[in-house]
Amino acid sequence: MVRNYVTYVNNCVAAISYGMKQDLGKLDRILRFALAVWWLGPWAPQYDIVWVDTGIFLVGWIALLESFLGWCGLHRLFGIDNKNQ
């Protein structure tokens, strides 16, 4: 799991450093940041299933990273660009 996260972070940083244009709009970045604060803070939902808690934790970190970078790999994959919204 940690290796996948590190690979994702490295890919994001490499993409931004090679001139990847931002594809997230202002509202999208604000909502991702709010989700990250909620899911990484003490208000995060907690379940008895460990892998669900781990998934929530990882999604929270990915949302936080994407809110700062302004770039989403899934948006690029599907050709979505809402930078102007």
Give the tens place of pLDDT for each residue, 34-53. Answer: 999 999 999 999 999 999 99
| DSSP conformational letter for 41 | S
pLDDT higher than 70, residue 3: no
CA–chain centroid gap for 7, Å, is 13
Distance separating alpha carbons of residues 4 and 40, to the nearest angstrom: 19
- Token pair 């770039």: residue: 71
pLDDT at 12: 66
pLDDT at 40: 95
pLDDT higher than 80, residue 2: no
Q: What percent of the chain has pLDDT over 70?
A: 85
3-class DSSP assignment, residue 43? coil
> How many CB atoms within 10 Å of residue 51?
9
Confidence class for position 30, pLDDT limits 50, 70, 90: very high
